[in-house]
Amino acid sequence: MNDARRSPPEEPGALNWAEGPLRLAAYAFFDLETTGLRPDRGARIAEIAVVGRDGVLLDWQRDAEGAQPLPDRLPRLLERLRNRVVVGHHLSFDFRFVAYEARRHRLSIPRLQFIDTLGLARRVMTPAPDDARLGALLDRFDLAPDGPLHTALVDAKATRALFWHLVEKGDIQTLADAGVKPLTWAAP
C-alpha cells in the first residue's frame, strides 16, 4: 500500500483506518473564497464554509454585519476540521491561504487528512474531464447547486454533492479508495 494513504502512526497489527468503510467517516466539506490569488501579495480570505453530512458547521463572511475578524474565526475553523476528513475541490489553493493566515497569527496547525474532489473526478471519470472546475463537473452530472457558485457555502454544499456522486459512480468503498492523504500545509 502507498504510505501516503496511511494514517501515521499505527499500532502494530492495527487495521489501517483508511481501509474502513468510507460511509462511516466524519467529513468536513470545505471551501473558501479569497480576494485574489496570492496571500503573500495581499490577497485575503473573504469567506469560509464548512459543511458536515447534515448541516453547516461554519459559515463566515468577512463583510457580513457583526462578523468576527478572521484571526478570531481561524481557531474555530481549525477545530471544525480536526478529527474529520476534509473534502474540497482544488484544496491546495484553499489551504495555502489557511496556512498563510494561521502562521501569520501564530496559530497551531493540526494534522489533517483530506480528499480532493478534483483528483477524485479525474480518477473516477472515463475519459478524464477536460474541464474539471467545480461548475463544469456539476453540469456534467446534472447536479444543481442551491445558489450561485463562488460563494463559500454554496461551493461547500456543491462539493459535498459531487463527492457522494463520485463515490457512487466509482463504487468507492474505503477512504483509501477515495485517495485520502495527509495534508501537507504549505504557505507561500
pLDDT in tens, 91-129: 989 999 999 999 999 998 888 999 999 999 999 998 888
Helices 117-124 & 152-169, crossing angle to 10 degrees? 30
Q: For residues 28 and 80, is the Cβ–Cβ distance under 8 A?
A: yes
Q: Give residue 16's pLDDT band: very low, low, confident or very high (50, 70, 90).
A: low
Question: How much of the chain exceeds pLDDT 70, in percent?
Answer: 89
The CA-based angle 176-21-54, given to 5 degrees, is: 105
In the predicted structure, residue 2 carries a pLDDT above the cut 90:
no
In the predicted structure, residue 9 carries a pLDDT above the cut 80:
no
Output the pTM of the full model. 0.86
Question: How many CA atoms within 13 Å lie on the side-chain side of 101?
Answer: 24
In the predicted structure, residue 30 carries a pLDDT above the cut 80:
yes
The H or E element containing residue 32 is strand 27-34
The CA-based angle 26-169-52, given to 5 degrees, is: 20
In the predicted structure, residue 186 carries a pLDDT above the cut 70:
no
Q: Which residue type sits at 23?
A: R
Q: Give residue 28's pLDDT band: very low, low, confident or very high (50, 70, 90).
A: very high
Which 3 state secondary structure label does DSSP give 60? strand
Write down the mean pLDDT value for the chain.
Answer: 87
What are the residue ranges spanned by the domains of the chain? 3-182
In the predicted structure, residue 184 carries a pLDDT above the cut 90:
no
In the predicted structure, residue 147 carries a pLDDT above the cut 50:
yes
| Residue 6 pLDDT | 38
Domain 3-182 classified CATH 3.30.420.10?
yes
DSSP 21: B
Which 3 state secondary structure label does DSSP give 3? helix
